[in-house]
Structure 1
Amino acid sequence: MKEQECNQTAEVGVSDLKLKGFKVYEINGEGSKIPTYNRRDFYKICINTSKSLVQYADRGIEIDGTVLFFGNPHIPYSWETLSKEYEGYACVFTEEFLKTSDRSESLAESPLFKIGGTPLFSLSAEQKVFIDAMFQRMIKEQETDYVFKDDLIRNYVNLMLHEAMKMQPAEHFFKHKNASSRITSLFLELLERQFPIETKNEPLALKTPQDYAQSLSVHVNHLNRSVKEVTGKPTTAHITERVISEAKALLQHTDWSIADIGYSLGFEYPSYFNNYFKRLTGTIPKSLRT
């Protein structure tokens, strides 16, 4: 049995991607070199025809045929191929590549990628032809010198996302009792519900892991262990990334003062917000103002 995956375990950096934050490639069981990557850095979409066993967070599924898979970098998964032959395509990309605005919905909230969602879709022969064609077009476009090829590829990816959302997910997942996965899912959903910030007069209600733990009625140590186990990142990292993302959006898309933006994000003094933003982004908030 082979551990062939839309999931690969070795790592490469973003610099190895063909476009900034994106790469598409073919996979098969006849010795082709499959690019590998740090699975915590990239979202993945993969079409695969094989007999396989997929473990995703606290669930597992046996597949025999063609499936479309959506991988979230915050959710651990493995893909064990049980058949001698397999074929398909895969692409990996950062959220920054796909999002055209800081205010657009986070991929982690998409029904295709969110924790607790179903990432596997069984494809008919007709659906396989369509999805294969999307990947083939992306592979071809990836090698061109067309100035707007990243926009074109982004459209292909979005088209696949919409096609998948029209499909019925695979129904053969079995559930394991895993408190860590449940708590992490609740935390990420609660985190996302704090945004977007709509008023500058009411500071962010939940700012620390302790705040989230109290809201979820769990001990903060249990929350931290669960989030790190499931996503590979500390609770504070998730909070920080979301706060910085919102800060950038407010700086670019509102006329609020920097002091008001800092206050709305939970910083009592503008100097605290300035220092926090510079430490995490390498630049000061004012630099995002046009």
Structure 2
Amino acid sequence: MEEKETLEQYYSRSFKKVPDDLLASSGSVAHFNIIKRQNCLQLLGFSRRDYYKVVLTRGNAVLYTEKGEVTIDRPSLFFSDRNIRYGWKNIGDGHDGYICLFNEYFASAELRKAFRKLFLLFKDDMYPFLFLTDEQYHKLEQYFVLMRNEYCDNFGYKNLMLRDLLNLVIYTGIKIKTSDHKEFPEVYPQDLAERFMELLDNQFPVESPVTSLQAKTPARFADLLHVHVNHLNHSVKLQTGKTTSQLIRERVLTEAMSLLRYSDWRIYEIGNSLGFEYPQHFNSFFRKLTGTSPKQYRSEVTAHL
């Protein structure tokens, strides 16, 4: 059975002092904490956690889920419970926001019910997360600031107030998710995957060594299709079983092998036509996927022509 990371392990791995209440009770006590994002780890391994987490974040990052990677490039709100496996990697600097951590002993029946309602809305998505507008981010930020203020207070009923504020954040997330202004209401996964494959195939065959592919990354295809790259990646994986990057690599490799076999273009010209700025990048790409260099491959296949 897979072990889940405990709160004590999280604090130790984050080089933070394990709170006294957790130490004294071996974790068997209601625990809540709220931490500023800039004071947290840059990288989280892919695993389950034995606690709940609600995160308001701003800054570039990659969220690793069981259904693939999610590019975080705008303000976001995401949730995790004790059953979800995920990982996280910050990209660059300038990260802001808050992280709320709490365990099963802190979670009330109302909180668990709110989490179940929320997670049902995301059952067909890659992960329970929401992209936010600046207005939505600032509104939610106020709730997190209130939580932080209450957390630092000694009011006898502060845990009740913290639970109420958490419920407010969760139901705000539900409201955003179920609003009429969905991000991609008109593009179904099957249609989007078909449009992606059509765009990809229309770039081939390459007709000139002096031109280069116009689209070679998932982000570029997403721009051309007027959707977010996460939506494109999820739709393509759902329909084909392969990642967007994998399909692009396979099609570029097929074209490279054809040009090496049938054209008289120089190898650096082939690489340039397929979007590789430097010959060594093309050589590395080709060798990684075939186990041989473009030069060796050309020598072997042309010997039999």
TM (normalized to structure 1)? 0.48
Select the structure with the greater relative contact order (CA < 8 A; seq sep ≥ 6). 1
Give the structure-2-normalised TM-score.
Answer: 0.46
